[in-house]
Amino acid sequence: MISLKKEDILLNQQFANKKEAIQATGKHLSDLGYVSVDYIEKMIERDNLTTTYIGNTVAIPHGTDDSRHLINQSGIVILQVPEGVTFDGNEVRLIIGIAGLGDEHLELLSSIALVCAEMTNVEQLIDTDSKEAIIELFKEEVVL
């Protein structure tokens, strides 16, 4: 089971474009030891194959199938982007980077999708200045 921690969350981020946003997300995953730095390029490659935008102003960048060896441990990072950044013509205000070992990858995606399917949840995640509130919302909705 993965637990979301305060250090996993970056509030009030700003990015010029999608690539910069994905690189920052990957760097945060790497800085926390979840992935090796090479995973960042695989996150960009994955988004080029098919967008990681999932709707409701949320994107979930993650690596390609052949990047699993670059994951040290399963983890999740959340970057709040109140001003928004464009992903393939869509405004993204919440970026959730994931790295999942084995089947945890799919569990992470489905758990995040459950929370982010409700626009009211997404708005709370974007509008808060409290990392604790973000952790609580995910705890209430999913098993993280």
**pLDDT tens for residues 7-55?**
999 999 999 999 999 999 999 999 999 999 999 999 999 999 999 999 9
Q: Which domains does the chain have, with CATH numbers?
A: 6-141 (3.40.930.10)
pTM metric for this prediction: 0.94
Catalytic amino acids?
62
The 10s digit of each residue's pLDDT in 72-125 is: 999 999 999 999 999 999 999 999 999 988 878 778 888 888 899 999 999 999
Rounded to whole angstroms, the Cα distance separating 71 from 34 reads 6
Question: What is the percent of the chain with per-residue pLDDT over 70, rounded to a whole number?
Answer: 96
90-99, strands of its sheet edge to edge: 9-10, 75-87, 90-99, 58-59, 53-55
